[in-house]
Amino acid sequence: MTADRFIHSIGGYLPSLRLARKSAVSALKWSGLGGVREGYRAVAGWDEDPMTMAVEAARTMTRELEAESLIFASTSAYFTERAQSGLMVDALGLKRDTRSLDVAGSRRCATTALLQALDGTKPAIVAAADARATKPGSAHQLLFGDGAAAIGVGDNGGARYLGSHSTTHDFIDFYATRDHPTPYGYEERFIRETAVDAILLPTIQAACEAAGVAAAEIAYAAVAEPLTGIYPALARKLGLKASNLASDLFAQAGDLGAAHASFALGLAFAKAAPGDIVLLAGFGSGCDALLFEVTGTVLGAAQMAVALAQGSALTDYVRFLNLSGGLDLAWGMRAEFEQKAQATVIERHGRDIIGFVGGRDSTGNVQFPKSRIPVNPALSVPETLEDVRLAEEIGQVVSVTADRLNYTPDPPFYFGLVQFDNGARVMVEFTDCPASGLAVGDRVRMRLRIKSLDRRRGFRTYFWKAAPFERPTLEKQ
Amino acid sequence: MMATGIRDRVAIIGMGCTPFGEHWNKGPEDLMVEAFEEAVADAGIERLAIDAAWVGNALDDINVGNSALPLAHALRLRCIPVTRVENMCATGTEALRAATYAVAAGAVDIALALGVEKLKDTGYGGLPLKTKGLTNDLWMPYGSAPGTFAQLAGAYSARHALKAEDLKRAMAHVSWKSHQNGALNPKAHLRKPIAMDAILNAPLIADPLGLFDCCGVSDGAACAIVTTPDIARGLGKSDIVTVKAIQLSASNGWETQFSAWDGSYVRNTREAARRAYDEAGISDPRAELSLTEVHDCFSITELVTMEDLGLAADGRAPFDILDGAFDRDGTLPCQIDGGLKCFGHPVGASGLRMAYEIYSQLLDRGGERQRQDVRLGLTHNLGGAPFNSVAAVSILGRLN
């Protein structure tokens, strides 16, 4: 008998902006297009992608869990050759001898990766994220949301893994291809009936059997639904009494793709008490169903429930289209600025840049970036600086402006000087700024974001930006 | 042995300056030739008497190209040493510094400094964005010029507990005053007085800088011919303008990487000014200077520069500005020619354009805007951003 495996910790991330779906439906009213009008859809900022969101979801757990492997799961990852998990290892400050893997193929990839981690013997992180492109006016545009969830697995934690079952079924509720990158969906009635009866129901039943759990004993569910509203029918047929946290997540943020079930699992853990049984089901080209028994507190779960309730309502459909790639606006010649990065430079400095690693000099002063001769006026000869990670530091605004001349895909461009308590300071871009802007003295936290986009060569670079320390509470819709 | 400086060791014997503006029909070659022809006529020398030349242009990719060659070709110089210099907005003053040092060193008898920039071939308003180097580009923000200088405002307000609207009014006065002056200058680009209300209510470019808080963008060239006072006398010059000081100071990362600076002032201006006053033998700049031409790329820059140059007490610049101390009829006029505000800022030319005005005022050639009894004038350039800058301060005066 192998040792019990546990969910050690869990983390989630949603972008600050939430499109009020009714705004989109109202903008599209003339066309009869749109779809679901209640609730919100989380919208990645122009500088966010699945990798940056996955880092945000995973960053809290790396302090507590010495992961030996990292899996990144997404169906919308930017790089097809250059592992997102490789970037994450550097961004999270993990050791270079961490085993890393990107998985994709269907939105179920995250739960399958989680099973792989649970079946293993070493501490591991599975980080899932999606920011899927959709066509303006399509139902998917308002069904989908952008976000991430990460799960830390180990030999201890707050939820014991009881068992699982997986099925493979080449079922096409929608597909996306290199030739058709946005979803192409099929009839809802076909999806509703086939997904429940042929895939979800038998898989979950088999998982319950494997775990020795009756469906009625399950306290909370995190079941990814291929269509909103199918869970009640599934629950009835299974004899499940548990509410589905994935439905709550859909209402407030949309279907997060690969991250959806994992994020919902965090919401379930936030509600659960020791002894509760929790069901996790990932869907896509089949199904993975997993059962857990809550044994204590799962680190990070409570913060996920808080994160779901925070954000800024976005009611401008055109701004949403601009952010989500549905519109290609003419930004003028300033947007033609070349931002070509070089692999040799990234080889020399990339790990320190994406990991936000500065240096401590022999007097104790911390600076960013590191330099041969420290910036400290008390020192004047070269010395070796000790690595200091700044990503988790809280900063204070020294100077800031909302620059309306500089090109940015989502104006205005906020930038300025941020001071950290440990002595380091850095000129940075600000992100997630409220319309009222930022002021000298405001507290900020650092977020990994896209620094530059090289559209001509299909490349992007990443660096940390300062965001307001607190997010506003989202009005419930 | 301590360096003795260059005070009165170099004379300016001729200067030229093109009208600044949107010269759709003139290229850099036209501008260089026009500025040079005025200077060489003013100097009264044979053009072949020039022993060495320095050309300043900051943005070679949209100008004439790199190196000495554009100037050598434009002026058909005869195989003399020619060097291109670039130091952001201090480029023009950097060219003058190089020519001045060459004469002061005794390496040459007569040297030329010429600054030129042809910005209106960018195809859009404002300064073009440049890469900051491949490593820096991985993390440094690419802000616009108004974005970088706008940050002085919030930090200044915070340091001096000054309300944002009070600072905005003082900034507006800076622009209002320069537009008043520029209206009198036939070489200025913008020659219309602007009402205070229009300045205060203009659209924001980078908070809190509005459109009229920003200088124009233009094409232009300016140049100086320098030699020794002895040679100047030998050329029959009796009213001789000399260089009293030229000093530079460059950031080393202290502002942005070491936690001492509060963002409300420009350290390099203070350093360069302190050394320039020493070199020129000035102990009380407020009393001794007759006028200043400072780097008013943005109104807030001029405001903090008044304090950085020691011309206003700490925290008092907004009040002195509103009292009219730096107006044309004030105690120490600033930008009597209209400044960057009305000339625009063809980067490589601006430092020499400022020197041209001081030189003209020293020689009573200021026309309608001539100030009485001009003895010493100061020019100031600030390249880069307040947090990462090169500052240049030069002081010109009469030889006596």
For the segment A396-401, the average pLDDT, to the nearest whole number, is 97
Distance from CA of B345 to the nearest CA of A (A): 17
Closest partner residue to A349 among B138, B253, B256, by Cβ?
B138
Q: What mean pLDDT do residues B364-370 have?
A: 95
Query: Is-catalytic flag, B345?
Result: yes
| pLDDT at site A463 | 98
At residue A477, the pLDDT reads 66
> Could you tell me where in chain A the CATH 3.40.47.10 domains are found?
6-324
- The yes-or-no verdict on residue B116 having pLDDT over 50 is yes
User: Are the Cβ atoms of B259 and A417 closer than 8 angstroms?
Assistant: no
Question: In A75-203, at which residue ranges do the beta strands (DSSP E only) sit?
Answer: 99-103, 124-130, 147-154, 159-168, 174-175, 184-185
Distance from CA of A350 to the nearest CA of B (A): 8
Interface test with B, best of A87, A345, A379, A398 (most B CBs within 10 A): A398
Half-sphere exposure of A57 (CA within 13 A, CB side): 40
Q: What is the pLDDT of residue A246?
A: 98
Q: Residues of B at the A interface (Cβ-Cβ below 8 Å)?
A: 122-124, 126, 129, 131, 134-135, 137-144, 146-147, 150-155, 157-158, 204-207, 209, 252-254, 256-259, 261-263, 387-388
- Does the pLDDT of residue A342 top 90, yes or no? yes
Identify which of A341, A416, A423 has the shortest CB distance to residue B151: A416
Catalytic residue (choose from B17, B89, B214, B215)? B89
Residue B157: closest C-alpha in chain A: A440
CA distance A342 to chain B (A): 7
How does residue B2 score in pLDDT terms, banded at 50, 70 and 90? low
CB pairs under 8 A between A and B: 133
Closest chain B residue to A355, measured at CA: B139
A40-43: strand order across its sheet: A40-43, A17-20, A312-314
Residues of chain A with Cβ-Cβ distance to B135 below 8 Å are 345, 348-349
- CATH number of the domain located at residue range(s) A6-324 in this protein: 3.40.47.10
Rounded Cα–Cα distance for residues A415 and A441 (Å): 14
Q: Identify the pLDDT of residue A475.
A: 81
Minimum distance, in Å, between the CA of residue B95 and any CA atom of chain A: 29
The mean pLDDT of A332-339, rounded to a whole number, is 88
Predicted confidence at residue A2, as pLDDT, reads 66
CB-based contact B257 A429, cutoff 8 Å: no
The interface pTM score, or ipTM, of the predicted complex is 0.94
| CA B46 distance to own-chain centroid | 28
The whole-angstrom distance between B165's CA and the closest CA on chain A is 15
Whether omega before A412 lies within 30 degrees of 0, making that bond cis, reads: yes
| Segment B235-258 mean pLDDT | 97
A437 → chain B, closest CA residue: B207
The answer to whether B142 and A350 have CB atoms below 8 angstroms apart is no
The C-alpha R_g of chain A, in whole angstroms, comes to 22
B264-305 tens-digit pLDDT? 999 999 999 999 999 999 999 999 999 999 999 999 999 999
| Of residues A332, A415, A439, nearest to B147 (C-beta) | A415
Inter-chain touch A345–B254, beta carbons under 8 Å: no
- Which of B189, B295, B345, B380 is flagged as catalytic? B345
Residue of A nearest to B130 (CA): A337
pLDDT > 80? residue A217: yes
**Confidence band (pLDDT; 50, 70, 90) for A338?**
confident
Average confidence (pLDDT) over B132-158: 95
- Report the predicted TM-score, pTM, of the whole model to 2 decimal places: 0.95
**pLDDT 10s digits, A154-205:** 999 999 999 999 999 999 999 999 999 999 999 999 999 999 999 999 999 9
pLDDT averaged over every residue in chain B: 96
Collapse the DSSP code of A103 into the 3-class scheme (helix H, G, I; strand E, B; otherwise coil) and give the result.
strand
B262/A398 Cβ within 8 A: yes
Q: What is the pLDDT of residues A36-53, one digit of tens each?
A: 999 999 999 999 999 999
Residue A398 contacts by C-beta under 8 Å, 6 or more apart in sequence?
A: A416, A417, A418, A419, A425, A440, B155, B261, B262, B263
Is A1 a residue whose pLDDT tops 60?
no
**Contacts (Cβ under 8 Å, ≥6 apart) of B381:** B89, B90, B92, B93, B295, B350, B351, B354, B390, B391, B392
Helix (H) or strand (E) holding B205: strand B204-206
How close B122 gets to chain A, by Cα (Å)? 9
Nearest 10 degrees: Cα torsion B339, B343, B347, B349? -90
Residue in A with minimal Cα distance to B152: A399
- Whether the pLDDT of residue A258 is over 90: the answer is yes
- List CB contacts (< 8 A) between A355 and chain B: none
* CATH code 2.40.50.840 region(s) in chain A: 333-468
Mean pLDDT of A340-350: 95
Question: In one letter, which amino acid is A9?
Answer: S
Span between the terminal Cα atoms of chain A, in Å: 48
CATH no., domain A333-468: 2.40.50.840
Cβ–Cβ gap A416/B256 under 8 Å: no
Q: In chain B, what percentage of residues exceed pLDDT 90? A: 93
Tell me the pLDDT of chain A averaged across its residues: 96
Which residues are CB-contacts of B341 (< 8 A; sequence separation ≥ 6)?
B174, B175, B178, B179, B182, B190, B215, B216, B296, B299, B335
Give the three-state DSSP class for A9: strand
Alpha-helical segments (H) within A333-464: 343-354
- Of all residues in chain A, the one with the smallest CA distance to B146 is A403
> Is residue B189 flagged as an active site residue?
no
- Across residues B204-216, what is the average pLDDT? 97
- Give the helix ranges, DSSP H, for A286-335: 301-308, 317-324
Report the residue of A427, A430, A446, A453 to disrupt the B interface, i.e. the one with the largest count of B CBs within 10 Å.
A427
